[in-house]
Amino acid sequence: MIKKRGKPLATDAGALLVPSSALLENHFTELLEAIEEIRGLTTLLKSLPPADETREEYEGRLYAALTHLDHHVKPAIKEWDRVVDRMAED
């Protein structure tokens, strides 16, 4: 099982990037969770021998995590663009 670290770094005080909308914050949270899952699974898969009986399960979970990442990337970019378009120009 891949353990998650808890609260994503993007919402910590002093973070470089602070979401401007609740929807964007939700996408960032989901993206960071998916990235952690992908990172953990790829590390695990690299250490497993090709004939390991659990490999197929982890590869399936990796595919699901990549799909989940894709599901949130496009809407996050769209929401980001919407937030930026609403900002006053300096």
42-75: pLDDT as tens digits: 999 999 999 999 999 999 999 999 999 998 898 8
* Cα 87 from Cα 65, distance rounded (Å): 33
63-72: pLDDT as tens digits: 999 999 998 8
* Cα 2 from Cα 71, distance rounded (Å): 20
Contact 68/13 with Cβ under 8 angstroms?
A: no
pTM to 2 decimal places: 0.67
Sole residue written with tokens 């808890």: 6
Query: 48: number of CA atoms within 13 Å, CB side?
Result: 16
* Of residues 23 and 49, more confidently modeled: 49
* Cα 35 from Cα 65, distance rounded (Å): 8
Domain extent listing, the chain: 22-86
Through-space distance between the first and last CA atoms of the chain, rounded to whole angstroms: 48
